[in-house]
A and B are shown apart, each in its own frame.
Chain A
């Protein structure tokens, strides 16, 4: 069996990618684009590109194409970055792609979600060389550590797309998809200031990340990178607190794999209560301040 190449955007996706490769059972190299690779996840060679800014997908694929072509399997995290970049790499290499892998059945057979997570499909790839994207929350940490040879790699692709602006990354809270605790809010939060004070405040108190529904994002209550759901981010934290969220199919597809779900809503018939471990029928404007005064601060 040929070798696997893991392409990591930043430090967040190295561990789940290494866990995927270890379970897949193939020897692997790791290419880290934007950060120095942790070299203890058992890769044979850890390549670091040390990019200050990752170029748009067309130039990144143009510069990586021949390097990546030597590997039978190329795996990327199914983040927004991975979803943009990996299929383009697959197309450039004329390879099929298995997206959003949740589970490995065998070297060529995987489980992936369809129909907003309402169906789990087992799919088999009939080509020896392919590209995969991996849902980070389904793989966790690698079971084996191991040192790697370190090598730097230069990436200088020419592309036709030029990035003209980028929103600032807020580093104050843990990454939404990696956080152990997520506190999410919906439209009842009314405005951005209230959202930040209550949802952001409880998230900070618990050392977690803040999330939001699409309705909250569409009403400019929360920035769009906080959207949890089928078309936003998929999260599976140890604790998910949904405040003022009724529980649309769209939203629940993004958080139903959380270990413990708490729902706080004034409407006792809201669908979110059907998947919550603990349901509290209460106004979030009373419940969250009380929680803030009673939780142990992280």
Chain B
């Protein structure tokens, strides 16, 4: 069995986000970059499946040269090899899904496991779009994954609670936060990962042109909410809600 895990390099989710002075993008000069947290959960899940069933794990990332750092970290968590499509082009989610489809066609994995969304653009689209392009079944927002007898059984989160889907392989699964807690990687793992194969490809190599039909025209930061006032008692709270805010409480 082979599992393909697409991953994205994103700003540290705990970093304070500020815009550049012209509002065209976020200020990245003082920010650390990480594997998208949902993708790291996908890498961890793939490694757990490998430990249980035995399989090959291929991680793939699309973007600038620095993506190599995050691919190396995925290799340290336990992926077997990495593919880096090095490009400075802009993509929308559909454009990314098309690039990933070319890698799926090339690698022929049984399962694509990826984060439900990247915490930079918060789109939550690429996985579902890739599943559509491949005409594979999908289970998004997974909180539990079991693979056995060429079937994946996935518990996923819905508006009303949870449901379980059973799918034949190949299939695509996107991860939610509750699926697992990624392991801490110790120094020997990081050193060992340096010798694992990392293949560099260009857009020309894979024969796909970059697509982006969603243009960012501008960015702004929402007005921050300011602290109101402290109330000393439940009575004062109820009186303030009733008289100052007109709440019928």
Q: Which residues does A use to contact B, with CB under 8 Å?
A: 9, 56-58, 61, 79-81, 83-92, 94-100, 109, 113-127, 130, 159-169, 206, 214, 217-218, 223-225, 230-231, 238-239, 249, 256, 260-262, 268, 273-282, 287, 290-291, 294-296
B215 within 8 A of A: yes
- Are the CB atoms of B213 and A81 closer together than 8 Å? no
- Are the CB atoms of B216 and A121 closer together than 8 Å? yes
Q: Which residues of B contact A97 (CB under 8 A)?
A: 93-94, 123, 125, 129, 214
- Are the CB atoms of A89 and B230 closer together than 8 Å? no
Q: Which residues does B use to contact A, with CB under 8 Å?
A: 11, 13-14, 17, 19, 26, 92-94, 97, 119-133, 136-141, 143, 153, 157-168, 171, 176-178, 213-222, 224-235, 237-238, 240-241, 245, 247-249
- Are the CB atoms of B165 and A161 closer together than 8 Å? yes
B123 to nearest A CB, angstroms? 5
Q: A115-B122, A224-B157 are in contact. List 15 more A-B contacts (CB 8 A).
A: A56-B165, A80-B141, A84-B138, A87-B124, A96-B213, A97-B94, A113-B122, A118-B222, A161-B137, A161-B165, A167-B160, A230-B122, A260-B241, A277-B228, A280-B232
Among residues of A, the one whose C-beta sits closest to the C-beta of B163 is A166
CB < 8 Å: which of B19, B124, B129, B165 contacts A91?
B129
Q: Which residues of A contact B128 (CB under 8 A)?
A: 57, 84-88, 90-91
Among residues of A, the one whose C-beta sits closest to the C-beta of B162 is A167
Known contacts A91-B130, A280-B231; is A114 also within 8 Å of B121 by CB?
yes
A226 to nearest B CB, angstroms? 10
* Cα–Cα, bound, A260→B221 (Å): 21
* Cα–Cα, bound, A113→B129 (Å): 20
Q: Which residues of B contact A275 (CB under 8 A)?
A: 224-227
Among residues of B, the one whose C-beta sits closest to the C-beta of A105 is B217
* Cα–Cα, bound, A249→B58 (Å): 33
- Are the CB atoms of A115 and B17 closer together than 8 Å? yes
- Are the CB atoms of A120 and B161 closer together than 8 Å? no
Q: Which residues of A contact B11 (CB under 8 A)?
A: 115
B233 to nearest A CB, angstroms? 8
- Are the CB atoms of A277 and B249 closer together than 8 Å? no
> Can you list 14 residue pairs at the A/B interface with Cβ under 8 Å?
A56-B137, A58-B137, A79-B159, A90-B132, A91-B132, A97-B94, A119-B17, A122-B220, A123-B217, A125-B213, A161-B171, A167-B162, A278-B230, A287-B234
* Cα–Cα, bound, A125→B216 (Å): 9
- Are the CB atoms of B153 and A274 closer together than 8 Å? no
Among residues of B, the one whose C-beta sits closest to the C-beta of A258 is B225
* Cα–Cα, bound, A199→B161 (Å): 18
Q: Which residues of A contact B93 (CB under 8 A)?
A: 87, 96-97
CB < 8 Å: which of A113, A120, A160, A279 contacts B230?
A279
- Are the CB atoms of B228 and A164 closer together than 8 Å? no
B203 to nearest A CB, angstroms? 19
- Are the CB atoms of A91 and B97 closer together than 8 Å? yes
A233 to nearest B CB, angstroms? 8
Known contacts A119-B220, A279-B231; is A159 also within 8 Å of B122 by CB?
no
Q: Which residues of B contact A291 (CB under 8 A)?
A: 234, 237-238
CB < 8 Å: which of B130, B137, B231 contacts A160?
B137
B163 to nearest A CB, angstroms? 4
* Cα–Cα, bound, A249→B177 (Å): 15
A149 to nearest B CB, angstroms? 29
* Cα–Cα, bound, A120→B214 (Å): 15
CB < 8 Å: which of A57, A99, A118 contacts B17?
A118
- Are the CB atoms of A296 and B94 closer together than 8 Å? no
Q: Which residues of A contact B132 (CB under 8 A)?
A: 61, 87-92
Q: Which residues of B contact A61 (CB under 8 A)?
A: 132
CB < 8 Å: which of A122, A125, A290 contacts B219?
A122
Q: Which residues of B contact A262 (CB under 8 A)?
A: 237, 241
Q: Which residues of B contact A87 (CB under 8 A)?
A: 93, 124-129, 132
* Cα–Cα, bound, A217→B157 (Å): 13
Q: Which residues of A contact B124 (CB under 8 A)?
A: 83, 87, 99
Q: With a 10 A CB-CB cut-off, give which of A86, A161, A224 has the most chain B CB atoms.
A: A161
Q: Which residues of B contact A57 (CB under 8 A)?
A: 128, 138, 140
Q: Which residues of A contact B131 (CB under 8 A)?
A: 58, 88, 91
Known contacts A125-B214, A225-B160; is A83 also within 8 Å of B140 by CB?
yes
Shortest 7 CB-CB distances between A and B: which pairs? A91-B132, A167-B161, A91-B129, A87-B128, A277-B228, A161-B137, A87-B125
Q: Which residues of A contact B138 (CB under 8 A)?
A: 56-58, 84, 88, 161
B153 to nearest A CB, angstroms? 7
CB < 8 Å: which of B94, B141, B216 contacts A96?
B94
